[in-house]
């Protein structure tokens, strides 16, 4: 059996995978580039099959207890008057701050962690994979999993350069801390200028608010790990915006050490595995924050990968294709983000008026109810058992 499994990335996908692999008797090691868990970020949704995964991990009650409890979204004008409101929340689903979810997942996984390091090279043969690290000595593993996000190092080493797999969707986004008094309790407030959005997210259960920014743009040249460059790009994109609270939000965001910036990109791959190396989470299929499904896909995908490995007695040749076959349909569905982007960041003033009119109409509620009806509850998720 392939027992020793290296997981690159200690976030939603990597932590979920490590937890299930350990339960099934594998020996996972998690390597994370950051010096500690990166436990921050905005609200993420645990819904549908991800609720089942969290229940089976024994953390769903804690997730409910820590819920962000955001009840609605409002679009405002320059004078901070609501021009349209949309209730949010799906029956059974829970929105939780990403950092809280990361901490809860970590609590379920008693495994080996290596922080402050990264895989540098992978060399696979018939019996395993020799891994060199930036800092730690070389090691042998039976399998290697890339759960290291949209800019995955494992994907680059095993499958090829990022440009082949990451599709740019015409926007950039940033999240950071914000002054809570600028937003409304339990509400996501959004202010638009053509092709730009500045917003504030206020959870009901956290004193700290999150500011966020999205802007439409052609491709920009920058280093995805150079935070000083990210700050400059966002500052430049919103430099002329002095209306609403944009200036104050921007000043607070740029001062936040945990400022988070990325391209609105999507990862599209024909296959998620190559020999003894496999990808999960954003590294394999990032649908982008505009999908609202990053956490759901990460939890369900990692659960399925661990389960298929267990059911196949660790035989990756049997498990990897089954993992992929079982999870692709959900990923493909969540890649459809066009309507969400148009809703959050209308391109023109006319587009913004239309969005506001639609948001004020009963249409979003009717469509939401219809979708819930058609889905008729969470689809069943297999319970995997280790092969004897
Ligand atoms: C700090 C942070 C804040 C985020 N905030 C939000 C948010 O507010 N809203 C939202 O919708 N999504 C957010 N995301 C993205 C969201 O977590 C993912 O879209 C989704 O949940 C899938 O998770 P993932 O585990 O696949 O990838 P990610 O969450 O992107 O995690 C990848 C992990 O791999 C680590 N890593 C990267 N490269 C290496 C390497 N070479 N070696 C070892 N480790 C590596 C990263 O540090 C990170 O911990 C955030 C991600 C991060 C890392």
Domain presence at residue 77: no
Q: How many CA atoms lie within 13 A of 186 on its CB side?
A: 10
Count up the domains in the chain and report the number. 2
Domain CATH for 132: 3.50.50.60
Residue 271: inside a domain: yes
Mean pLDDT of 173-180: 93
Binned at pLDDT 50, 70 and 90, residue 208 comes out as confident
Closest atom of ligand 1 to 289 CA is: 11
Residue 251: which CATH number?
3.30.9.30
CB distance 324 to ligand 1 below 6 Å: no
Residue pair 304/353 in contact by the 8 Å Cβ criterion: no
Quickly list DSSP for 197-230: EEEEEE-SS-S-EEEEEEEE-S-----TT-HHHH
The 10s digit of each residue's pLDDT in 4-52 is: 999 999 999 999 999 999 999 999 999 999 999 998 888 999 999 999 9
Q: How far apart are CA 344 and CA 197, in angstroms?
A: 7
Residue range 169-175: average pLDDT? 96
| Residue 34 structure tokens | 């950051």
Instruction: State whether the beta carbon of 298 lies less than 6 angstroms from ligand 1.
Output: yes
Instruction: Judge whether residue 327 has pLDDT over 70.
Output: yes
Residues 274 and 153 in one domain: yes
Q: What pLDDT is recorded for position 150? A: 97
Question: Do 189 and 255 lie in a common domain?
Answer: yes
The pLDDT assigned to 377 comes to 59
Can you tell me the mean pLDDT for 76-92?
Answer: 90
Lowest-pLDDT choice from 137-146, 204-213, 269-278:
204-213
CB-ligand 1 contact for 32 (6 Å cutoff): yes
Residues 162 and 126 in one domain: yes
Conformation bin of residue 292: beta by default, left when phi > 0, alpha when psi is -120 to 50: left
* Boundaries of domain holding 48: 4-69+90-166+267-342
Residue 105 has pLDDT above 60, yes or no: yes
**Is 134 domain-assigned?**
yes
What are the tens digits of pLDDT across the range 282-314? Answer: 999 999 988 989 999 999 999 999 999 999 999
State the closest ligand 1 atom to the C-alpha of 284, by its place in the atom list counted from 1: 26
Looking at the structure, do residues 139 and 34 belong to the same domain, yes or no?
A: yes
Residue 330: per-residue pLDDT: 95
Shared-domain flag, residues 250 and 288: no
Separation of 328 CA from ligand 1 center, angstroms?
20
Are 125 and 56 within one domain?
A: yes
Contacts of 96 (CB under 8 A, 6+ apart): 43, 44, 46, 63, 66, 67, 68
369 CA → ligand 1 middle, Å = 31
Q: 128 with 251, same domain? A: no
- Asked whether 171 lines ligand 1 (CB < 6 A), one says no
- Whether residue 42 has its Cβ less than 6 Å from ligand 1: yes
pLDDT for 188 equals 95
**Each residue's pLDDT tens digit, 338-353:** 888 999 999 999 999 9
Ligand 1: residue whose CA is nearest its atom 38: 148
Pairing of strands 187-193, 196-202: antiparallel
Q: How would residue 79 be classed by pLDDT, with cut points 50, 70 and 90?
A: very high
Domain membership flag for residue 379? no
For residue 109, the model assigns a pLDDT of: 84
Question: Quick one: 153 and 110 in the same domain?
Answer: yes
For the chain, what percent of residues have pLDDT higher than 90?
A: 81
Ligand 1 atom 29: the closest Cα is on which residue?
Answer: 11
254 lines ligand 1 (CB under 6 A): no
Does residue 214 have a pLDDT over 60?
Answer: yes
Nearest to 29 by CA among 159, 149, 121, 147: 147
The sign one gets for the Cα dihedral 42, 78, 217, 269 is: positive
- Domain-located, residue 182: yes
198 and 279 share a domain?
A: no
Q: Is 237 helix (H, G, I), strand (E, B) or coil?
A: helix
337, 275: one domain: yes
44 and 13 Cβ atoms separated by less than 8 Å: no
Per-residue pLDDT band for 204 (boundaries 50, 70, 90) equals confident
The answer to whether residue 378 sits within a structural domain is: no
Domain boundary among 302, 322, 342: 342
Q: Kindly state whether residues 231 and 302 are assigned to the same domain.
A: no
Tell me whether residue 385 is in a domain: no
Specify whether 191 is located in the same domain as 323.
no
Ligand 1 atom with the smallest distance to the CA of 287 is: 19
């Amino acid at each position: 059996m392939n027992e020793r499994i290296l997981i690159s990335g200690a976030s939603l996908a990597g932590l979920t995978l490590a937890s299930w692999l350990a339960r099934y008797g594998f020996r996972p090691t998690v390597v994370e580039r950051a010096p500690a868990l990166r436990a921050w970020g905005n609200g993420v949704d645990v819904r549908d099959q991800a609720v089942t995964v969290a229940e089976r991990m024994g953390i769903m009650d804690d997730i409910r207890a820590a819920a962000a409890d955001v009840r609605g979204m409002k679009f405002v004008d320059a004078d901070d008057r609501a021009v349209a409101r949309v209730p949010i929340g799906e029956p059974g689903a829970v929105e939780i701050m990403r950092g809280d979810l990361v901490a809860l997942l970590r609590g379920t996984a008693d495994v080996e962690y290596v922080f402050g390091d990264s895989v540098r090279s992978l060399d696979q043969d018939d019996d395993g994979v020799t891994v060199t690290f930036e800092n730690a000595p070389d090691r042998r593993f039976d399998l290697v999993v890339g759960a290291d996000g949209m800019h995955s190092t494992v994907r680059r080493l095993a499958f090829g350069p990022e440009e082949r797999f990451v599709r740019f969707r015409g926007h950039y986004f940033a999240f950071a801390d914000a002054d809570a008094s600028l937003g409304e309790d339990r509400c996501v407030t959004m202010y638009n200028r053509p092709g730009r959005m500045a917003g504030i997210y206020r959870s009901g259960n956290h004193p700290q608010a999150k500011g966020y920014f999205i802007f439409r743009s052609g491709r920009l040249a920058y280093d995805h790990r150079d935070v000083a460059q990210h700050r400059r790009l966002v500052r430049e994109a919103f430099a002329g915006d002095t209306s609403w609270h944009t200036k104050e939000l921007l000043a607070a965001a740029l001062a936040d050490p945990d400022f988070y910036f990325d391209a609105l990109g999507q990862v599209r791959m024909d296959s998620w595995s190559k020999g003894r190396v496999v990808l999960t989470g954003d590294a394999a299929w990032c649908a982008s924050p505009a999908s609202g499904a990053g956490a759901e896909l990460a939890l369900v995908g990692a659960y399925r990968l661990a389960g298929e490995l267990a059911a196949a007695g660790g035989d990756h040749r049997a498990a990897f294709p089954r993992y992929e076959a079982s999870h692709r349909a959900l990923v493909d569905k969540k890649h459809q983000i066009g309507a969400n982007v148009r809703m959050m960041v209308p391109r023109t003033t006319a587009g913004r008026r239309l969005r506001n009119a639609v948001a004020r109409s009963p249409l979003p509620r009717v469509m939401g109810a219809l979708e819930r009806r058609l889905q008729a509850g969470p689809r069943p998720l297999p319970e995997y058992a280790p092969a004897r």
